[in-house]
Structure 1
Amino acid sequence: MDTESTHSGYSSRSGRSNRHSERGRERHKASSSKDSSRSEKSVIINPPETSSQDSPVHNGEPLPGEPMPAASDPGEEGQDDNWGETTTAVTGTSELSISQEEVVGLGKGIQDRTRGFRRYLPLAVGMCGGLLVLATPLVFLLLPVIMWPERLQPCGAACEGLFLSLSFKLLMLLTAIWALFLRPARASLPRVCACRAFLTTLTLLLTMSYWLFYGVRILDAQDEDYHGVVQFAVSLVDSQLFVHYLAVVLLELRHLRPCYSVCVIRSTDGETRHYNIGQLSIQNAALTILEYYYKDFPLHNPALLSASKHRAAKHLAGLKVYNVDALRERLRRYLWETPGNTAGAQPANGNQSQAATAGAKRKDSAHNELYYEEADYERRVRKRKARLVVAVEEAFTHVRRMKKEDERASPSDIMDVREAALAIFPSMARALQKYLRTTRRQHCHSMESIQKHLAFCLINNMSPKAFLEAYLAPGPTLQYGPERWMADQWMLVSEASVTSGVQEGSEFTLRCLDFSLAVTVKGIPYIRVTEEYVDPKSHKFVLLLQSETSV
């Protein structure tokens, strides 16, 4: 009986499975007939193309959309949950598909290859334009002499004076171009400066216009008046000098008048500074703000931020989180199940009052903990500072004593200043190290930099207070080594175009690796000053004296 029941159960299951397989084949035939009747345009979803080494198949799991292996059951092994994020829908008859990662990688590769081209393209265009500007007047003078020298009229004294004027004007133009344009670049901006592009275009248009007029009126006609050719070249140099004057006004003088006040806030510690700037584009304003940042802002210290985060995490760890909705639902069910029981709400109210009391106690304890922690930190800082000041004063006193002894010693026994700095450094090294660790600035000062600063103070005969000033308070970023700077890592984020000028209410962000600078722009208000006349006679008064007084 058991074998028959088992056999019958197996046969029933096999029959059901056969029926399911027949229905599946019918569905497959119907779908294939429908697919054949469709048009050629269809939506094809293909998995990303990966190599055998980078294939996401692990432990024999197939990619989504691929046929399952014969040994595996489709119902047991599920597909990847993120398969929709790594595939691309392609509409049309093409069989190729590109994943999103490949598109992003392709864009980054193109950007990396064109970065150098975009960086040196303005420099190349500027050099070519400068050579064209300087060479064009000389070519204007040489072409008639080379092409038809026998037909030219002799050049008199006035023409020779024009030669002299042209030479000095070209020399002044060359010096002005060197002073304004051939300077080391302060930074690499994301976009081309609009004023520089306008000046370059204007210079090229001016030069091409002179070339067209020169080709039509002088080269084609083979003008014999060489005096007129020289005057034409002099007029070109005069126009180029006026263009250079326009460049000085747009690039150097226009932004000197303050028009806007910018507020710069560091995102991590909230350090804030305010600056006045002129009419600049957003990228030039960002460059100016970064120059002020390295000069005015104290060095960013992530160690202080980690301490505050540790205190906040410790405070949050002691708090209990309650699900208010669940508690309200439990209370409602309790009151619903026990109708007429008015005393049932009393424990809830008591629990709520107890919870409120416990929360207030925890809040007060958190405040007290923060207060005592800050007080203890300030006490330890004052203690370390006092020990450091005493150690440094003793070391400098020892140096002064050694200097007096060196005056009476022989020249062979005199110690060098750097050797003296190395000799007295161990006496103050421990106190300085403990102070820097307490203030969490030990990563800002290396032993080599401290020894160099000590030798510098000894060479210039500085006091111990002058030596300690560099360590008692955090200095600006430029005071430290270049390894502490965030050079070549700033990113300008702005909703408006970076080539557009700053306006009232403009906002942009400067991001680097560890923090960002949020910049808001406000216009300087129009100031109206009026005058009020005060009559000098209104300040006069009469003093009546009595004979009885001592006056």
Structure 2
Amino acid sequence: TCPHLHSKVDTHLPLKQDDNWGETTTAVTGTSEHSLSQEDIVRISKDLDDSVGLDCKRYLNVALSVILGLVVFLTPLAFLILPHLLWPDRLRACGTACEGLFISVAFKLLILLLAVWALFFRPPRAGLPRIFVFRALLATLVLLFVLSYWLFYGVRILDSQDEDYQGIVQYAVSLVDALLFIHYLAIVLLELRQLQPFFSLCVTRSTDGATQHYNLGQLSIQRAAVVILENYYKDFPVHNPALLTASKSRAAKHLAGLKVYNVDGPGENNAAAGIAQSQSRAMIAAAARRRDSSHNELYYEEAEHERRVRKRRARLVVAVEEAFTHIRRMQEEEQKKAPGDVMDPREAAQAIFPSMARALQKYLRTTRQQHLHSMESIQQHLAFSITNNMTPKAFLESYLTTGPTLQYGKDRWLARQWTLISEASVTSGLKDGSVFLLKCIDFSLVVTTKKIPYIQLAEEFIDPKSHKFMLRLQSETSV
């Protein structure tokens, strides 16, 4: 499932976890019985709630599409069956050519069925706030086309009870051919038209300024928003509000250092103007002195933070390497035991996790990532690494490097509601200079559109003889 525009907000909140799991983690060894814990029950119920989501608009669109598809596919068959039901005695015999047309109709309908299924009946990627214009136009065109064929069929064939059955079959074949051409038109409008890039979109996250650029074709604003959101979860690093608190605390500390004292007291009304001017001058002078020293404080704070991160990282790497070395020794010992006494990867992960839990927790706290990784997710990743015989470096890569949003739990992206804000209509196409916002609860994505310039290439001919030269040697040269 992909996040969609104007969808319902999931009211289920992630379970609270203990922030001190690094100090309270204990090893679990031995073979445990398979039973459902309370956490498993909560997780299963949450997955069921996420999978059962009612969207009346989406189901209505699917129902209308299915009804229109049935009408389209049953119409040629009805054209062939109705004469046999209404006036079978007056029909002329169908010859060899007519029977060959039956095969043509059957295979063309089969091809049309597969083509429509591949193009239209795909899982929806997102719910759009407005109707998809090209798809609605194609559906209207198909409906008018089928109604026109039914009108002609009722006037010229049903009323007159035409006896030429071969002509009726050819009429049904012409309908199927026209439907195949409409499907080709749908491929051009819905798929091929947007392949050639025309616009370059700059997407900037409003909080930390993370930026990505995407080249898109001729799309509407709402469809461009869907493409941007699909790429956002794999290209942008996860949004970490904890990293933004440092600048806010530094600004608050800077303002808190500015103190102005009124030595005359509040009762001196006759000197209020002079006091206000002296206070302003004092604040300006204090702010200037504070500004001169703030960059030094920032430099030393960042240097100290980097030193702590390197120290925590080194301890974490050593702890993980020792834990994986212990795992390899355990695997060698387990191979000598009976098959029934072998410890599974989950139990092995629970056994070695306490040896690295404290170092990992301190590193995550220092880098402000403790809210992104729970103890359960770390143990699952550790069990996955053990199962696939991954190295310690491969296990640590998820914690040493900030990854995209999809790398983390579903609570980070599954239930997020996005709102599209645009001055222009969301069904209108992209234009040079178009600006729109994709807003959620925590932040917003600011999208600016630039048209890709027209590229003019010129050719310059280089004469092959221009590369040739003659070397004249003299007798005096020592060659």
Per the alignment, in what secondary structure is the counterpart of residue 219 of structure 2? coil
Query: Counterpart of 2:470?
Result: 542
Asked whether 1:462 is paired with 2:387, we answer no
Asked whether 1:121 is paired with 2:27, we answer no
Asked whether 1:473 is paired with 2:401, we answer yes
Partner Cα separation in structure 1 for residue 72 and residue 280 of structure 2: 85
Q: 1:259 aligns with which of 189, 194, 198?
A: 198
Asked whether 1:404 is paired with 2:332, we answer yes
Query: Counterpart of 1:78?
Result: none
Output the amino acid matched with 1:231.
Q
Query: Counterpart of 1:224?
Result: 163
Q: 1:523 aligns with which of 430, 436, 451?
A: 451
Deviation of 1:401 (Å): 2.5
Partner Cα separation in structure 2 for residue 228 and residue 194 of structure 1: 37
Partner Cα separation in structure 2 for residue 348 and residue 229 of structure 1: 97
Aligned residues: 420
Query: Counterpart of 2:12?
Result: none
Unaligned runs of 5+ in 1: 1-114, 324-328, 335-346
Per the alignment, in what secondary structure is the counterpart of residue 446 of structure 2? strand
Partner Cα separation in structure 1 for residue 308 and residue 143 of structure 2: 68
Which gives a bigger RCO, structure 1 or 2 (Cα 8 Å, sep 6+)?
Answer: 2
Q: 1:284 aligns with which of 212, 223, 240?
A: 223
Deviation of 1:408 (Å): 3.9
Does structure 1 retain, via aligned residues, the 8 Å contact 2:323–2:356? yes
Partner Cα separation in structure 1 for residue 305 and residue 103 of structure 2: 76
Partner Cα separation in structure 1 for residue 278 and residue 225 of structure 2: 59
Query: Counterpart of 1:246?
Result: 185
The 3 A distance-change label for structure 1 pair 349 and 116 is closer
Deviation string, structure 1 residues 317-375 (Cα, Å, up to 9, x no partner): 2225799xxxxx989988xxxxxxxxxxxx99999987765433211222222222111
Q: 1:491 aligns with which of 419, 426, 438?
A: 419
Does structure 2 retain, via aligned residues, the 8 Å contact 1:169–1:237? yes
**Percent of aligned pairs with the same residue?**
68
Asked whether 1:294 is paired with 2:222, we answer no
Output the amino acid matched with 1:460.
N
Query: Counterpart of 1:317?
Result: 256
The 3 A distance-change label for structure 1 pair 379 and 153 is same
Per the alignment, in what secondary structure is the counterpart of residue 448 of structure 2? strand
Query: Counterpart of 2:353?
Result: 425
Partner Cα separation in structure 1 for residue 254 and residue 356 of structure 2: 38
The 3 A distance-change label for structure 1 pair 525 and 172 is same
Query: Counterpart of 2:90?
Result: 151
Deviation string, structure 1 residues 61-115 (Cα, Å, up to 9, x no partner): xxxxxxxxxxxxxxxxxxxxxxxxxxxxxxxxxxxxxxxxxxxxxxxxxxxxxx9
Output the amino acid matched with 1:466.
A
Does structure 1 retain, via aligned residues, the 8 Å contact 2:258–2:286? no
The 3 A distance-change label for structure 1 pair 348 and 116 is closer
The 3 A distance-change label for structure 1 pair 349 and 477 is closer
Per the alignment, in what secondary structure is the counterpart of residue 182 of structure 1? coil
Output the amino acid matched with 2:201.
V
Output the amino acid matched with 2:412.
R
The 3 A distance-change label for structure 1 pair 171 and 311 is same
The 3 A distance-change label for structure 1 pair 506 and 409 is same
Asked whether 1:182 is paired with 2:182, we answer no
Does structure 2 retain, via aligned residues, the 8 Å contact 1:119–1:188? yes
Per the alignment, in what secondary structure is the counterpart of residue 214 of structure 2? strand
Larger Rg: 1
Deviation string, structure 1 residues 458-488 (Cα, Å, up to 9, x no partner): 2222211111110011100111111111535
The 3 A distance-change label for structure 1 pair 350 and 178 is closer
Deviation of 1:267 (Å): 0.8
Partner Cα separation in structure 1 for residue 405 and residue 277 of structure 2: 57
Deviation string, structure 1 residues 132-169 (Cα, Å, up to 9, x no partner): 10010000011110000000000000000000000000
The 3 A distance-change label for structure 1 pair 322 and 300 is farther
Partner Cα separation in structure 2 for residue 391 and residue 546 of structure 1: 75
Q: Which moved more, 1:412-421 or 1:208-217?
A: 412-421
Question: Aligned runs of 1:430-449 on 2, under 5 Å?
Answer: 430-449=358-377
Deviation of 1:414 (Å): 3.4
Q: Which moved more, 1:492-501 or 1:353-362?
A: 353-362
Output the amino acid matched with 2:440.
C
Deviation of 1:181 (Å): 1.0
Q: 1:359 aligns with which of 287, 302, 312?
A: 287
Deviation of 1:393 (Å): 1.1
Query: Counterpart of 2:69?
Result: 130
**How high is the TM-score relative to the length of structure 2?**
0.82
Asked whether 1:271 is paired with 2:192, we answer no
Does structure 2 retain, via aligned residues, the 8 Å contact 1:486–1:512? no
Partner Cα separation in structure 1 for residue 420 and residue 258 of structure 2: 40
Partner Cα separation in structure 1 for residue 245 and residue 273 of structure 2: 46
Deviation of 1:446 (Å): 1.2
Per the alignment, in what secondary structure is the counterpart of residue 299 of structure 1? coil
Output the amino acid matched with 2:222.
Q
Question: Aligned runs of 1:320-331 on 2, under 5 Å?
Answer: 320=259
Does structure 2 retain, via aligned residues, the 8 Å contact 1:486–1:513? no
Unaligned runs of 5+ in 2: 1-53, 263-268
Query: Counterpart of 1:513?
Result: 441
What's the Cα RMSD here? 2.5
Partner Cα separation in structure 1 for residue 230 and residue 183 of structure 2: 26
Partner Cα separation in structure 2 for residue 254 and residue 348 of structure 1: 66
Q: 1:215 aligns with which of 128, 151, 154?
A: 154
The 3 A distance-change label for structure 1 pair 409 and 542 is farther
Does structure 2 retain, via aligned residues, the 8 Å contact 1:155–1:226? yes
Does structure 1 retain, via aligned residues, the 8 Å contact 2:254–2:290? no
Partner Cα separation in structure 1 for residue 316 and residue 153 of structure 2: 78
Partner Cα separation in structure 1 for residue 276 and residue 74 of structure 2: 94
The 3 A distance-change label for structure 1 pair 356 and 419 is closer
Deviation of 1:545 (Å): 3.9
Output the amino acid matched with 1:520.
T
Deviation of 1:411 (Å): 3.6
**How high is the TM-score relative to the length of structure 1?**
0.72
Partner Cα separation in structure 2 for residue 349 and residue 206 of structure 1: 81
Query: Counterpart of 1:173?
Result: 112
